[in-house]
Amino acid sequence: MELRQLQYLVAVVEEANFTRAAARLHVAQPGVSAQIRQLERELGQPLLDRSGRSVTTTEAGEAVLPYARAALAAIEGVRQTVDDFTGLLRGRVAVGLVSGPAGQEFDMVSVVADFHDAHPQVEISLTEDTSERMLAALRRGELDLALAGLVDEEPPPGLSCQVVIDTPLVAVVAPDDPLGTDRNRAEVPLTELRDRPLISLPRGTGLRGVLERVCVEAGFQPRIAFEAAAPHVLTELAARGLGVAVVPAPPVGPASLLGERLRVLTISGPQPRGRIALVWRTDGPAGPAAEALLGRLRTALPVPEAADDRASTTR
The length of the chain, given as a count of residues: 315
Across residues 226-235, what is the average pLDDT? 87
Structural domains of the chain sorted by starting position, each given as residue range(s) with its CATH number in brackets: 1-88 (1.10.10.10), 164-274 (3.40.190.290)
Beta strands in the chain (DSSP E): 48-49, 56-57, 91-98, 122-129, 145-150, 159-173, 187-189, 198-200, 224-227, 244-248, 263-268, 273-281, 313-314
Q: Give Cβ neighbours of residue 158 (< 8 Å, ≥ 6 apart).
A: 139, 281, 282, 283
State the amino acid at position 247 in one-letter form.
Answer: V
Rounded to the nearest integer, the mean pLDDT of the chain is 84
Confidence (pLDDT) at 89: 67
pLDDT single digits (tens) 69-117: 998 888 877 776 666 544 556 778 899 988 765 555 667 778 888 888 8
149 closest CA partner among 292, 295, 273: 273
